[in-house]
Amino acid sequence: KVGDDVKTLFGRGTITAIRDDSVLVVRISSWRLSGRNTVTCYPSPSDPNIQVVRPKTVYQMSVYEKVENAQKLKADASVKFTAKQFKEALELYSEAVNSVRYAQHTQNSTNELRADLLVVMITCCNNAATCCIQLQDWDKAYKFGKNALVLLEALYKKRGDSKIHDVLNQEGFGDSQLFGTWKVKSYIVIARGLAEKFDTEEALEHLKKGQEMLTIFKKEGDVRFQQLASQEKQIRKLQIKCKERLKAERKKERQRAKAMFGGSDEKKDPDEKNNSNEGRKQATAYSDKGGKKSTAHNTSTVMPVENGGSEKLSPEKIPYEKSSAENSTSSFADKSKPGWANDDDAEPTFWEEHGEALCIAGVGAVSLLSFLAFRRR
């Protein structure tokens, strides 16, 4: 049936159709002619050389087969993407990328095959990154976009000297598409992923590089002009959002720094500010002469009198009473003041300390002399 893998006398292939006369149409996949020319054979179902075989796994496929498998998966994924089934589309795009990720070229690999592999890798990575953005998977969006950008930058450095670049140009993939729409798309999806991960400065750097590519390849009359103009609008919108977010982040950093190291008077409690202002107002007095400002405190006091009125007393008239703290003696007294000798901590005199011992020594000396004098007699 159609779609079966079969072995024929000419090699392995896939049944693509069955004619009315029951002749099979088999496209050979195990080898190719030069360029992209494929081989098709028309065996009869009764041919003993026809044998249905199990489909190959990715690891069993040749480079040609891997690229064809990736192209088929990409076509299926595009249908899902158009239907906004982003999760299913992402799975198919990822499978396509994985099928050719480790493809090893041989000396038989043509430039056309290499170009096909490059195209399917770049487009599937960019489209997979777009699906990740729709699914808000920012890490994967960044990784897919970065993979596409690495391939495009390598091709951009070798443009003019690369046969693959020449093949792509000849087949309709102009520089405005390769390094314009495709590369700018990579910058956009990378910047979007970085911005959502709050790496705003690096996101702005990628948007700036995308803007530089637009400056080079966005030209009037080019078939990609409208698409590049649309991408330019996307870059400007992202730049505005990133700059606003960066401004807000820096403002928060300044607020945290002020909170950590002490803020200005503007951040004090309004009630505290009012109290401090009233205190300063009360501490400031104005003299009667000339209305000049004086920082002296107003110490006049109003005291009641016997006849029911009141009398404003100056500081000289207010009776003074010593406080208990003033009447008490400080433990750290000055030795020059009277009464220092009566302090409990004063040092005793030599006689007070050694008087008793001297008396005993004197009595002992007198007794010894009397004893000596008695023996001489």
- Over residues 336-367, the pLDDT tens digits come to 434 333 344 445 566 666 677 777 877 778 78
Query: In 10 A of CB 21, how many CB atoms?
Result: 7
Residues in the chain: 377
- Asked if pLDDT for residue 45 goes beyond 70, the answer is yes
As a whole number of angstroms, the distance between CA 116 and CA 124 comes to 12
Q: How confident is the model at residue 60 (pLDDT cuts 50, 70, 90)?
A: confident
Backbone angles phi, psi at 103, to 5 degrees: -70, 130
* Amino acid letter for position 326: E
Measure the CA–CA gap between 305 and 320, rounded to whole angstroms.
18
What interhelical angle do 111-134 and 138-157 show, nearest 10?
150
Write the single-letter amino acid at 68: E
Tens-place pLDDT, residues 160-171: 888 999 999 999
> What is the pLDDT at residue 107?
77
Most confident among 80-89, 105-114, 219-228, 363-372 (mean pLDDT): 80-89
pLDDT digits (tens, 9 = 90+) for 216-250: 999 888 889 999 999 999 999 999 999 998 898 88
Tell me what pLDDT residue 97 has: 95
Please, is 371 exposed, middle or buried when counting C-beta atoms within 10 Å of its C-beta (0-12, 13-18, 19+)? exposed
> Within a 10 A sphere around the Cβ of 73, how many other Cβ atoms?
22
pLDDT at 73 over 90: yes
Asked if the model's pLDDT at residue 183 lies above 60, the reply is yes
Query: What is residue 267's three-state secondary structure?
Result: helix
Helix or strand (DSSP H, E) at 301:
strand 301-304
Determine the average pLDDT of the residues in 165-187.
94
Least confident range from 186-200, 270-284, 311-325, 351-365: namely 311-325
Beta bridge partners, 39, equal 28
CB 134 within 8 A of CB 81: no
Q: How far apart are CA 194 and CA 241, in angstroms?
A: 12
d(CA 190, CA 210): 11
Which range has the worst mean pLDDT, 151-160, 290-299, 354-363?
A: 290-299
DSSP-assigned letters across all residues of 198-239: T-HHHHHHHHHHHHHHHHHH--TT-TTHHHHHHHHHHHHHHH
| Of 36, 31, 1, residue with least CA distance to 13 | 31
Q: Chain-centre distance of CA 330, in angstroms?
A: 64
What share of the chain in percent tops pLDDT 90?
A: 43
Question: Both tokens of residue 53?
Answer: 């075989």
Q: How confident is the model at residue 372 (pLDDT cuts 50, 70, 90)?
A: confident
Q: Tell me how far apart the alpha carbons of residues 200 and 31 are, in angstroms, rounded to a whole number.
A: 49
Can you give the pLDDT at residue 110? 87
Query: Quick one: CA dihedral 19, 21, 27, 33, positive or negative?
Result: negative
Per the structure block, which two tokens stand in for 293? 């400002």
What is the C-alpha radius of gyration for the chain, rounded to an integer number of angstroms? 50
Where does the chain show beta strands of DSSP type E?
Answer: 5-8, 11-18, 24-28, 39-41, 51-53, 285-286, 293-294, 301-304, 310-313
